[in-house]
């Protein structure tokens, strides 16, 4: 699989499975309120016609389902056998990493360690920044998160991980690529890959979600026009 592609792969025999995953996850995100269309002011100051917030998923049934989607994407991409530890950046990445680890064991018979970070180091008890499985030298780490808008928060996580042990960051997997550009004309995900040499895989991108929403009557033509106009102004090139 090439970097920065959604987890669909290029092999014809795998495409139907990947397309199914994209459609199912897109519908799940919309119906659970994790992706909304409207008008939302972002931290960057931009006013976006779509908003991605996996923090809206707040019950056991839906979190279990979300973990299953990530687990399927990891297995379909052939990454499970190349992952020693799943890492969830605080805060939204924490339940993603935990639920994905559980789903990998429950649905695929694969046990992978997980951990996550505190925002501030603990100076009592076990101490430190890392909660869950300790990081070990040589660990191949997959970072799981919801989105990547600019990549700044992911840069901070790299420092946390590399200060804990001599690990290899195998990939970053996000649920949705917003397709916004970074500092250059390419997407923030592609820019991050070029800067750090780490694969960024998105299970779906905002166009996948929009297409599914339109087909289900969960988004309007006006929503589609607003998304297209926004990406025309702020979207980045994939290459």
- 15 classed as catalytic: no
> CA–CA separation, 50 vs 93, rounded Å?
20
Tell me the average pLDDT across 139-163.
Answer: 86
150 pLDDT band, cuts 50/70/90, is low
41 burial level (CB within 10 Å; 0-12, 13-18, 19+): exposed
- 122 classed as catalytic: yes
Q: What is the pLDDT of residues 160-195, one digit of tens each?
A: 898 899 999 999 999 999 999 888 889 989 999 999
Residue 5 lies in a domain: no
Residue 6 lies in a domain: no
Residue 8 lies in a domain: no
Q: What is the pLDDT of residue 11?
A: 43
Expressed as residue numbers, the domain containing 40 is: 15-234
What tokens appear for 72 in the block? 């399927």
What tokens appear for 113 in the block? 């360690």
SS3 state of residue 125: coil
CATH number where 209 lies? 3.40.50.2020
Residue 96 lies in a domain: yes
Tell me which residue has tokens 């990406």: 231
Residue 9 lies in a domain: no
Question: pTM for the full model?
Answer: 0.88
List 168's β-bridge partners, or say none: 140
Contacting residues for 198 by C-beta, under 8 A, at least 6 apart: 158, 169, 170, 171, 172, 192
- Please state the domain count of the chain: 1
Residue 226 lies in a domain: yes
Indicate if the pLDDT at residue 86 is higher than 60: yes
Of residues 2, 17, 122, 237, which has the active-site annotation? Answer: 122
Indicate if the pLDDT at residue 78 is higher than 90: yes
Contacting residues for 218 by C-beta, under 8 A, at least 6 apart: 30, 31, 212
Residue 220 lies in a domain: yes
Lowest mean pLDDT among 2-11, 23-32, 86-95, 138-147: 2-11
Residue 1 lies in a domain: no
């Amino acid at each position: 699989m090439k970097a920065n592609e959604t987890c669909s792969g290029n092999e014809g025999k795998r495409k139907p499975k990947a397309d199914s995953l994209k459609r199912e996850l897109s519908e799940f995100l919309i119906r659970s309120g994790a992706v909304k269309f409207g008008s939302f002011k972002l931290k960057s100051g931009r006013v976006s016609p779509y908003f991605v917030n996996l923090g809206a998923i707040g019950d056991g049934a839906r979190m279990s389902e979300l973990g299953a989607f990530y687990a399927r994407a990891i297995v379909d991409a052939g990454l499970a056998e190349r992952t020693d530890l799943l890492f969830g950046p605080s805060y939204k990445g924490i339940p993603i990493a935990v639920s994905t680890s559980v789903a990998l064991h429950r649905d695929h018979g694969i046990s992978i360690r997980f951990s996550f970070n505190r925002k501030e180091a603990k100076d009592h008890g076990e101490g430190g920044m890392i909660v869950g499985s300790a990081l070990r030298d040589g660990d191949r780490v997959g970072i799981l998160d919801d989105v990547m808008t600019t990549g700044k928060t992911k840069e901070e996580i790299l420092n946390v991980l590399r200060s804990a042990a001599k690990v290899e960051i195998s990939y970053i997997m996000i649920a949705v690529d917003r397709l916004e550009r970074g500092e250059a004309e390419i997407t923030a995900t592609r820019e991050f890959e070029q800067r750090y040499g780490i694969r960024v895989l998105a299970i779906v991108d905002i166009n996948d979600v929009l297409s599914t929403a339109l087909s289900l009557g969960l988004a309007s033509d006006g929503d589609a026009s607003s998304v297209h106009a926004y990406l025309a102004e702020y979207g980045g090139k994939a290459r």
